[in-house]
Structure 1
Amino acid sequence: MQKNTQESSDHPAQPTKVLFYCLYNPNAGDHHYTMNAAERDYLVKAGWKDEGIGWYSADDTGVPLYRQYNPNAKAGSYNCTTNKAENDYLVPAGWKGEGIGWYGLASI
């Protein structure tokens, strides 16, 4: 996990939150979200457009968001959910479970 301690006019410093990168695939019309800079860099080299930091996620004390990948989809191949039952339904149906992708902020 990478924590952002840098400040800019677009994104004020958020030292207790994890930064999230947004990418766009202009060929498929898909968006992809990751907190992994190496994954971001790999996708950019493969032709994805880096849209910068999209938001800041909670650390591991927040609400878990489960990420699944559908290897059979041509577009819209990722699903993210806070619902563990949804995750547990999709994985045996052919989606590849990637575990907890990130943590969301709890409701205020």
Structure 2
Amino acid sequence: MADLQAGLDLFLLLAMGHFLGDFALQSDRMALEKCPGVRGVLPWGWWLVAHAGIHGFLVAVITGVPLLGLAEWILHAGIDLGKCRRLYSIGIDQMLHLGCKLLWVAVLLLR
């Protein structure tokens, strides 16, 4: 039961961190210019890597596991690239991101 409560607590912290990173810490410029084909002050890849890196940092800090932060960095960038290419909506994008958070909790609980 304690593991379940710890897992739920960790998921909630990761979800809160996600929404902080995706909305409060992402400027309008970053949200637009992280997508290929959008002209901006920097090439799109820099914006995407920076945005995903914020998420990776949040996951690393919250979990205390930098390798999970790296995994988040990579997966977050890939998910956002799919959204930029209009492969799915923002709703699916957010579900995929939160699914990653569930994966990190499972990895930590099963180790």
TM class, shorter-length? under 0.3
Structure showing the higher helix proportion among its residues: 2
Calculate the TM-score normalised by the size of structure 2.
Answer: 0.26
Structure showing the higher strand proportion among its residues: 1
Calculate the TM-score normalised by the size of structure 1.
Answer: 0.27
